[in-house]
């Protein structure tokens, strides 16, 4: 099936809404909350109320809560959807154009919401109390990118699961109302026994141990969370409770097919911000960027800008493709990893080169270029590092399993 990546007019209000939030709400307070690490951005409450109102009217919010959309409707042959995934990707992109850390801090738009939106039943949502702001807890002190190495356990006890373990680098972990926790229901069965559970943050047995001090996205809280004999209803398990050794843990891993394009979009957003600022600074310095002349015939700064912009365009299109495929019920694991790998690497390249080409202005706090360079680094790391994405892509292209290609 051919993919037309020209955005439909119905998505223009989505883009305009997020762009206005980026320029009028995020940018003016960006430096303030970069310097006031861990202080909650109260300005986001107003924005959250706006998004919740739009969601009630049938429009997606700024982050990961989209995706339930019209998936249950019958679709005629040849029908092309641009639904919750595309809206979430575009919102993430343009909100990050303002500030990545603030985008990750918008109430009720946590990364865990993507897992809930993709898997949770209406009955589960009702049991959770309706409106949920969910962070995602996967990484542990003993592992980073190898999600199959989960040691946190969830032991069945009647109508409950008892969760024990420690999670690190939980984005919005101290602010979100709920936490999507990856845990093993039977360590002897390996990765197939890894399931995801929704745990209320204020639940007995849940402790926010500390908040991390970070290089970037300082407006976003990143927590260490401990689970000690934490009992939750068995109905709070997302997906099937059955352990299928043959299938492995593909079910929980499918969450990444939704979240990786979103993270790619974040990198595209901050990359666009850096490119626009850099273009202004270069033009003010008398450097003309001419698309009608070969890059080799232009000043080195202009040639480098054209290279960065072309890489950015590729990352942008890959992100849209991954989201489009998700909306149209096409397997997109390969494309999700491709978008994340390309955008993550491009985001760091664009923002760091912008600092370099802007010289003393880029390295100072007179612009936001140095902040965007710091913020962009995490986008090449979380939700699967650059190396992990390339490994997944290689497995898909070569038709190899995880045991065959490590």
Q: How many CB atoms lie within 10 A of CB 361?
A: 17
Nearest to 186 by CA among 177, 195, 196: 195
* 132-246: CATH topology: Butyryl-CoA Dehydrogenase, subunit A; domain 2 (2.40.110)
Class of domain 251-398: mainly alpha
**What is this structure's pTM?**
0.92
Domain positions in the chain are 9-119, 132-246, 251-398
Q: Return all residues near 283 (Cβ < 8 A) that are at least 6 apart.
A: 289
As given in the structure block, the two tokens for residue 239 are: 């997906």
For every one of its 406 residues, what pLDDT tens digit does the chain have, with 9 covering 90 and above?
A: 566 778 989 999 999 999 999 999 999 999 999 999 999 999 999 888 776 665 555 555 445 544 444 444 566 666 777 788 899 899 999 999 999 999 999 998 888 887 887 778 788 877 777 678 999 999 999 887 777 789 999 999 999 999 999 999 999 999 999 999 999 999 999 888 999 999 999 999 999 999 999 999 999 999 999 999 999 999 999 988 888 776 655 566 777 888 899 999 999 999 999 999 999 999 999 999 999 999 999 999 999 999 999 999 999 999 999 999 999 989 999 999 999 999 999 999 999 999 999 999 999 999 999 999 999 999 999 989 999 999 999 999 999 988 899 8
What is the dotted CATH code of the domain comprising 9-119? Answer: 1.10.540
- Give the burial class of 390: count Cβ atoms within 10 A of its Cβ; 0-12 exposed, 13-18 middle, 19 or more buried: middle
- CA–CA gap between residue 258 and residue 271 (Å, rounded): 21
Q: Supply the angle between the helices 300-327 and 333-357 in degrees, to the nearest 10.
A: 160
Closest CA to 266 of 100, 35, 24: 100
Whole-Å CA distances, 61 to 9, 82, 112, 343? 18, 15, 14, 22
DSSP string, 310-333: HHHHHHHHHHHHHHHHHHTT---H
Which residues are the active-site residues?
383
The Cα 137–Cα 180 span in angstroms is: 6
What separation in angstroms does the CA of 169 have from each of 75, 136, 319, 342? 40, 9, 24, 23
């Amino acid at each position: 099936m051919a993919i037309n990546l020209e955005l439909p007019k119905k998505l223009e209000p989505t883009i305009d809404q997020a762009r206005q939030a980026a320029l009028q709400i995020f940018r003016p307070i960006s430096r303030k909350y970069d310097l006031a690490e861990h202080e909650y951005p109260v300005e986001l409450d107003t924005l959250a109320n706006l998004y919740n109102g739009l969601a009630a009217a049938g429009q997606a919010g700024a982050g990961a809560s989209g995706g339930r959309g019209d998936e249950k409707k019958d679709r005629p042959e040849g029908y092309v959807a641009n639904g919750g995934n595309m809206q979430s990707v575009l919102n993430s992109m343009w909100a990050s154009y303002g500030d990545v850390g603030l985008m990750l801090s918008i109430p009720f738009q946590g990364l865990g919401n993507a897992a809930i939106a993709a898997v949770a039943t209406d009955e589960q949502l009702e049991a959770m109390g309706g409106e949920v702001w969910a962070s995602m807890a996967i990484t542990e002190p003993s592992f980073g990118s190898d999600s199959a190495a989960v040691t946190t356990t969830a032991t069945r006890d009647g109508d409950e699961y008892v969760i024990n373990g420690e999670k690190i680098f939980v984005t919005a972990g101290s602010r979100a109302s709920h936490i999507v926790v990856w845990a093993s229901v039977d360590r002897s069965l390996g990765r197939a026994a890894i399931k995801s559970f929704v745990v209320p943050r204020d639940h007995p047995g849940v402790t926010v141990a500390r908040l991390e001090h970070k290089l970037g996205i300082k407006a976003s809280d990143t927590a260490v969370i401990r689970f000690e004999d934490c009992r939750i209803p068995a109905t709070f398990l997302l997906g099937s409770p059955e352990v299928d050794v043959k299938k492995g843990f593909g079910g929980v891993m499918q969450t990444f097919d939704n979240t990786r394009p979103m993270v790619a979009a974040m990198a595209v957003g901050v990359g666009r911000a850096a490119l626009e600022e850099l273009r202004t600074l270069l033009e003010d310095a008398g450097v003309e960027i001419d698309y009608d002349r070969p890059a080799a015939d232009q000043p080195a700064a202009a040639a480098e800008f054209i290279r960065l912009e072309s890489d950015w365009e590729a990352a942008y299109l890959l992100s849209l493709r991954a989201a489009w495929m998700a909306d149209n019920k096409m397997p997109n694991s390969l494309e999700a990893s491709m978008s994340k790998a390309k955008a993550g690497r491009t985001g760091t390249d664009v923002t760091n080169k912008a600092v370099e080409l802007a010289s003393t202005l880029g390295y100072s706090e007179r612009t936001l270029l140095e902040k965007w360079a710091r913020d962009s680094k995490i986008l090449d790391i979380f939700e699967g590092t650059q190396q992990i994405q390339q490994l997944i892509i290689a497995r898909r292209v070569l038709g190899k399993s995880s045991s065959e290609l490590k």
